[in-house]
Amino acid sequence: MSIPKGKLIAIGGAEDKGTDEREVFHLNNLNFFGLGILRRIVEEAGGPASRIEVITTASTIPYEVGNNYLDAFGKIGCTNIGLMHIRGRETVNDGDFLKRIKACDCVMFSGGNQMRLTAVFGGTEFLKIIHKRYQQGNFVIAGTSAGAMAMSSTMIYEGNATRAHLKGEVKTTTGLRFMDNVIFDSHFEKRGRFGRLAQVVAANPSCIGIGLGEDTGMLITQGDRMEAIGSGLVIILDGHNIHHTNIADIPEGSPLSLENLVVHFCAKGNGYLIKERKFIELMGKETTPVMTDVY
C-alpha cells in the first residue's frame, strides 16, 4: 500500500471532555485538561476553524453523545462541528452525507459498538471517500473506544476479559481497514484486556497489538509512526518473535500458552515505529520525565 498522507488518532475511550469530574482527576495526578486529546485533534485538523464531522453511528444514544462533543469542542474554541447520526445502510450514501464528508477536515467516530460501524459502512461509497481522502491529503480520522477499534483491518468485536486466556473466547472480524498491520483494543487497563489482545496477536503475529488506555491515544502519521498522547499508557504487544504458542493445536476453551511476547509501555510523547518494531523515547514535542541525577 502507498504511504497515506493523512493521520489517524486512535483513542482508548473516556477522553476528557471538560466535565465536572476534573477535581477527582487532579486528585489522582491526572492533568486531563493540560493533556487535551481533543485539543490535539483540533490542532492536527488545522486549528479551531477546521470542520470536524462527528459520526455517532456506533452509539445507542447518538444525540446525547453528539451534544456532548459539541459542548466539549466548543470549550476549546472549535465550533465548526457537524453531527452525522447515520443509523443504517439505507441512508449512509445520502448525497448530503457524501458532500459533507468530502468537505470536512476531520471525521471522528464515537464510541459504542464497533460492529455497527463495520456493518453500516463496510463497502459503501461513504467509506471509500474516507479512505481516498486519508491516502491522498492531510485528512484526519479520529476514533474513540469502538471508533478506534474499528480502524484496523483485523477488529476485535467480542471477548470477556475474565475468559480471554481461553482459546475461542475472543472474536474478530474485518474492520474499516485504515491500517493493515495492527490490532487496536480500547479501555485497555481499566477493563483488563491484556489477555484478549494477547490472544489475537498470538493468532495474528504479523500484527502489532495496540492497547489504548482511557484518555490516551496514538497519533499515527505516514501509516507507521505512532506518538502516544493523553494522560495514561499505550501498551504495545509485538508477536513477531514468539517462540512457542499452542493456539493452533488446543481445543476451544483451553488455556493459551505463549512464549516471548514482547511488550512496550508508551506514555505521553513516547513513540513506536510499526515497520521497524522500534520503541522511540521522544517522538512528540514533550515526553515523560527521565531521571538524570542519580546518586
Active site residues: 145, 187, 214
Region for 173 from its dihedrals, namely left if φ exceeds 0, alpha if ψ lies in -120 to 50, beta otherwise:
beta
Q: Is 131 exposed, middle or buried (0-12, 13-18, 19+ CB in 10 A)?
A: middle
Q: How far apart are CA 194 and CA 161, in angstroms?
A: 8
Query: Residue 194 carries which DSSP code?
Result: H
143 forms beta bridges with 10, 109
Q: How far apart are CA 13 and CA 144, in angstroms?
A: 5
* Dihedrals phi, psi of 55, to nearest 5 degrees: -100, 115
Give the type of residue at 51.
R
- H helical segments located in the chain: 22-27, 32-35, 37-45, 62-75, 89-92, 95-103, 114-121, 125-136, 146-149, 194-203
Report the sign of the C-alpha dihedral through residues 68, 85, 145, 271, in that order.
Answer: negative
